[in-house]
Amino acid sequence: MFQEKMFSTLAVVAVIVITAGFFIAAEPEESSITTEDGVVTITGLARQTQPLVVSQANVVRSPLFGTAYSVKPDEVTLDEAAVVAFQITPEDRESVADLGIYRFHQSLQMWELVAPVVAHTDEVIAVEARQLGLFAVGLAPEFEAPVFANVYDELRSQAPADAVGYEIAVGYAEPEHEILRLLSLGEHGGCGGVVRVGDGESLSRLDRDATVKIQDAEKQVTFTFVTRWFTSSMGGCDAQAPLSPLVEYDILDAIQI
């Protein structure tokens, strides 16, 4: 009987020790990993259950360069931002001052310039990112975007009946190029101008073609307007607070994944 109690007590102690050890080990630790080709290094906090993993993905088209790199975990928002660093290749150093790191926004299906930049030299560019995923280096052309009359009104008229908020993102692409987001354009809105994320989501898309001057040449560009509708199972806006844009444009962290 004494031996049975002793073994039982030891078993309980062992479970407590193992459980305590598990929780201690589960705390995130500083991790740094570099791709086999030496181009990309990721540094940040990682848990044993969700380690940082980076690998070459697909070849990207202009105005991005070379290959995109997949950084995981890509389905969570990190508690603390990771640093994503690209080594600059010799052929890209002539334009290094204008280079940027872009991340592919899965919901919007377009590439976004990542900020903040924490290092920018002739050898390396590094940014902080709380959302991981596909990253690539690129050089976006400078141009003045045309004004599309009534496009935002047209998009808002397509709102689902259960919409309580929305985000309109604007991207552009020359033929056979990647779509890059124009962060200077776009709109957020919601019931009475107050954005609510809701418990559902749907998308709508509208394309407009225009001729713009890029590097002293007239070029055909497609502008893509993607609207993320944030919907609610409780219903949409009421008549006293209809769906309308924010008075001031604001980037909301909760909807930037």
Model pLDDT, residue 41: 96
The string over 153-182, giving b where at least 16 C-beta atoms fall within 10 Å of a residue's C-beta and e elsewhere, is: eebbeebeebbbbbbbbbbbbbeebbbbbb
Tokens of 80: 């603390």
Report pLDDT digits (tens) over 158-170: 999 999 999 999 9
pLDDT given at position 48: 59
CATH 2.60.220.30 intervals, the chain:
29-138
Q: Is the pLDDT of residue 153 over 80?
A: yes
Is the pLDDT at 209 greater than 50? The verdict is: yes
Q: What is the pLDDT of residue 112?
A: 96
| Cβ-based neighbour number of residue 128 at 10 Å | 16
Q: How many CB atoms lie within 10 A of CB 61?
A: 15
Query: Is residue 205's pLDDT more than 60?
Result: yes
Which of 133, 170, 169, 134 lies closest to 255, judged by CA? Answer: 169
**If you classify domain 29-138 with CATH, what class do you get?**
mainly beta
Rounded Cα distance between 138 and 43, Å, is 21
> Tell me, what DSSP letter sits at residue 215?
T
pTM above 0.85, yes or no: no
If you average pLDDT over residues 224-238, what whole number do you get?
94
Tell whether the model's pLDDT for residue 47 goes beyond 60: yes
Mean pLDDT of 23-28: 53
Q: What pLDDT does 8 receive?
A: 45
Is the distance from CB of 172 to CB of 180 less than 8 angstroms?
yes
Instruction: Please give the Cα distance from 43 to 81 (Å, whole number).
Output: 9
Distance CA 244, CA 13 (A): 60
